[in-house]
Amino acid sequence: MGGFLLRKVGAALVVLVIASMLVFAGVRAIPGNPAIALGAEDRDPALIAQIKHKYMLDRPLPVQYAHWVWLALHGDLGATQSELPVAHTIVQRLPISLELAVLSLVVSVLIGIPAGVIAAVRRGRPEDYVATTGALVGLSVPHFWLGLLFIIWFAVDLHWLPAGGYVTLHHPLSNLEHMVMPAIVLGTGFAAVLMRQMRSSMLSTLNADYVRTARAKGLSERAVVWRHAARNSLITVTTLLGLQLGALISGVVVTETVFQIAGFGQLTILAVNQRDYPLIQGVVLVTATAYVVVNLLVDVVYSLLNPRIRVT
């Protein structure tokens, strides 16, 4: 187990270092001289040299990179155009997006897992047909469009829910009221992915020897399906969660834009629209890091659930 963990952590570190190099190189690839952009419009050579020196732009690239990483490791991602610390701005917005992500995951698990199990058990019957068709539609409907439709139906026409915005968790009811639509919109898309994975994984576990044994020893069908087959099918589904994280992050960005939730996603789009390069750099770096860390955690959890994987 120790060796397995060490290998996984090592691989994750390698990925993080390369990813950070890409982010660093990407910002350097932006056309224009940052020293001139930073206030030396009169192109006074002395001032430009001073700015270059201040931001270490006169040093070789590897030195600049090392310096940048050093600062990033200490939580300093530079300052936004409006002179606010990038790290602080991002940290402020993250909890909002995390709440949205968690709520939509809850929605998707509540719909996707039972639907997948039922579809597999009732294979070829109407229930299976309804669930698989629903999943196919769910895969083809873009979240953001569903969001617009929900706003038209539940906010504009019926006045049941607010059309957008965010209320902090200090007002739990109002918070929930604002999060219901975004969470359902984002969650249903993932429910479709989860349902398909769960169904195919269930179809193979239902044929496994231990399921036959469970049936042979007279367990009720319910116990066989949920306690034996479904629990083991969930193991394969956990890896899917890690791989789907990228889609989840993209989904959060879009959903926050549609519902005007001032989270990490909206910050990302704001950064692009204002061409705030330090902020873009910070946002991309944080996303990549989150992806690597979460996938490392998924690998670890997976190896705990399925000990066979540690050998290979």
Q: Which residues bind another protein (CB under 8 A)?
A: 11, 14-15, 18-19, 22-23, 26, 29-31, 136-137, 139-142, 144-145, 148-149, 151-152, 156, 163, 243, 245-247, 249-250, 253-254, 257-258, 268-269, 271-273, 275, 277, 280, 283-284, 287-288, 291-292, 295
Contact at 8 Å (CB) between 163 and 151? yes
CB of 189 to another protein, least distance (A): 10
Q: At 13, is the secondary structure helix, strand, or coil? A: helix
User: Of 39 and 142, which has the nearer Cβ to another protein?
Assistant: 142
Query: Rounded to an integer, what distance in angstroms lies between the CA atom of residue 263 and that of residue 102?
Result: 14
Residue whose C-alpha is closest to residue 22's, from 53, 59, 68: 68
Contact at 8 Å (CB) between 105 and 187? yes
**What is the residue-wise DSSP string for 155-195?**
IIIS--S-SS----TTSHHHHHHHHHHHHHHHHHHHHHHHH
CB of 293 to another protein, least distance (A): 10
Task: Give the relative orientation of helices 245-258 and 143-150 as an angle to the nearest 10 degrees.
Answer: 30
User: Of 118 and 248, which has the nearer Cβ to another protein?
Assistant: 248
CB of 287 to another protein, least distance (A): 5
User: Of 25 and 110, which has the nearer Cβ to another protein?
Assistant: 25
CB of 46 to another protein, least distance (A): 30
CB of 5 to another protein, least distance (A): 17
Q: At 56, is the secondary structure helix, strand, or coil? A: coil
User: Of 232 and 244, which has the nearer Cβ to another protein?
Assistant: 244
User: Of 36 and 148, which has the nearer Cβ to another protein?
Assistant: 148
User: Of 273 and 312, which has the nearer Cβ to another protein?
Assistant: 273
Cross-strand partners of 79 = 85
Which letter does DSSP use for residue 58 in this model?
T
Tokens (6 digits) for 75: 């939580």
Give me the long-range contacts of 213-222 (CB less than 8 A, separation at least 24): none
CB of 95 to another protein, least distance (A): 19
Residue 85 φ/ψ region, left for φ over 0, alpha for ψ in the -120 to 50 degree band, beta for the rest:
beta
User: Of 23 and 109, which has the nearer Cβ to another protein?
Assistant: 23
Cross-strand partners of 85 = 79
CB of 107 to another protein, least distance (A): 19
